[in-house]
A and B are shown apart, each in its own frame.
Chain A
């Protein structure tokens, strides 16, 4: 069974082969709950209230505090390239999408589902401990109707960053310029939290960003650069 709903402004597709209506409702509800708390577009969200100053950090929910701390840590870890505090406004969207996918995946595993695939706007967790292999394509940034390559895998988290869908919405927060080295960067490995953040960070940093992979054993990168070279860096682990 597969269902699609638009939450957080992005189409979210969930495939649970042995799923029923109830599990889909509960799964999408997790996305909605996280969106209601962390959206910067919703005026009553906790993030909006925090930015307006109507609530202080110490009075925020535990989830809020956890993500806030994580965003601070990631800013440090990426030398400012992941910056949820850009323009003096707290916007954790770059982390929250991966977080939401991760939460739903944990929920489904806890419920005993041994096969599922969650795709939120191109960021994916595929899970299988049944022997089933998922086939996951990577979009060709020059022709989004085509795929460049595909992975055949039981369980994986995979995220792609590029500017070909929404225009130049990624900027290098250090130089304030549009990154130009990559057309797309795909990261895959055990956790969507890492894959999602680092796909964007490496995209923003350009070629030198690939060195960050050294600190991420188990994570792999497939990218297309501005010369249309498709290259891969596979983890030694």
Chain B
């Protein structure tokens, strides 16, 4: 199980073409699409929400979104088009999920940082170095 945290502004409000416009809770699959939930709001109830299959030019797609502490914490692709269709679809699916969302590693209690290979010199200035010092016993 992987959960990806992007923070509360993970979705752009005008990003309707890349994200499903109606999201329904999977605990209540029969709820009507007449109560659409724009997913940019950070104020949802916690839970896992599964979108209805939606069509795009390349096939059916279904997405589930995990909300925790009122924030979107994960987006999972449940259905994907066939590999051939998906190829054409990949770039459009790579929706802009977030802009300039930055948090400090300290505030999130990070254990390690993945980044481009650093030199010994740049390591001294790096977040990873700070974490290593904090965790060294």
* Closest residue on chain B to residue A183 by CB atoms: B116
Q: Tell yes or no: B127 within 8 A of A by CB.
A: yes
Whether A4 lies near B132 (C-beta < 8 A) is yes
* Closest residue on chain B to residue A227 by CB atoms: B96
Q: Tell yes or no: B115 within 8 A of A by CB.
A: yes
Whether B117 lies near A136 (C-beta < 8 A) is no
Whether A13 lies near B116 (C-beta < 8 A) is no
Q: Tell yes or no: B114 within 8 A of A by CB.
A: yes
Q: Give chain B nearest CB distance to A200 CB in angstroms.
A: 10
Q: Give chain B nearest CB distance to A223 CB in angstroms.
A: 8
Contacts of A164 in B (CB 8 A): 116
Contacts of B100 in A (CB 8 A): 228
Whether A147 lies near B113 (C-beta < 8 A) is yes
Whether B98 lies near A122 (C-beta < 8 A) is no
In the complex the two chains form, what is the Cα distance from A144 to B124 in whole Å?
12
Contacts of A9 in B (CB 8 A): 119-120
Q: Give chain B nearest CB distance to A176 CB in angstroms.
A: 21
Main secondary structure of the interface of A (DSSP, over half): strand
In the complex the two chains form, what is the Cα distance from A200 to B120 in whole Å?
20
Contacts of B111 in A (CB 8 A): 15, 117, 126, 134-136
In the complex the two chains form, what is the Cα distance from A154 to B111 in whole Å?
12
In the complex, chain A residues 148-181 whose Cβ is within 8 Å of any chain B Cβ: 148-154, 156, 158-166
Contacts of B3 in A (CB 8 A): 151-153
**Given A228-B99, A230-B97; A165-B115 close (CB under 8 Å):** yes
* Closest residue on chain B to residue A208 by CB atoms: B91
**Given A137-B112, A152-B3, A159-B114; A210-B94 close (CB under 8 Å):** yes
In the complex the two chains form, what is the Cα distance from A154 to B1 in whole Å?
7
Which of B94, B101, B112, B122 contacts A136 (CB under 8 A)?
B112
Whether A153 lies near B2 (C-beta < 8 A) is yes
* Closest residue on chain A to residue B98 by CB atoms: A230
**Given A122-B116, A147-B113, A232-B97; A139-B90 close (CB under 8 Å):** no
Chain B: interface residue total (CB-CB under 8 A): 56
Whether A229 lies near B119 (C-beta < 8 A) is no
Which of B5, B86, B105, B118 contacts A122 (CB under 8 A)?
B118
Interface string of B102-137 (1 = CB under 8 A from A): 111100111111111111101101111101100111
Whether A146 lies near B102 (C-beta < 8 A) is yes
Contacts of A188 in B (CB 8 A): 2, 114
Most chain A beta-carbon contacts within 10 A, residue among B105, B115, B129: B115
Whether B128 lies near A166 (C-beta < 8 A) is no
Which of A134, A184, A220, A229 contacts B112 (CB under 8 A)?
A134
Whether A147 lies near B118 (C-beta < 8 A) is no
* Closest residue on chain B to residue A170 by CB atoms: B116
Contacts of B115 in A (CB 8 A): 122, 138-139, 144, 160, 162, 165, 184
* With A137-B127, A214-B86 already in contact, 16 other A-B pairs whose C-beta atoms are closer than 8 Å: A11-B123, A15-B111, A15-B135, A97-B117, A122-B118, A140-B102, A145-B104, A146-B105, A147-B113, A158-B114, A165-B115, A184-B116, A210-B91, A222-B4, A230-B99, A236-B79
A interface list, Cβ under 8 A from B: 1-4, 6, 9-11, 13, 15, 97, 117, 119, 121-124, 126, 134-141, 143-154, 156, 158-166, 184, 186, 188, 207, 210-211, 213-214, 220, 222-223, 228-236
| Nearest 9 interchain pairs by C-beta | A139-B115, A162-B116, A236-B80, A146-B102, A122-B115, A231-B94, A121-B117, A137-B110, A11-B123
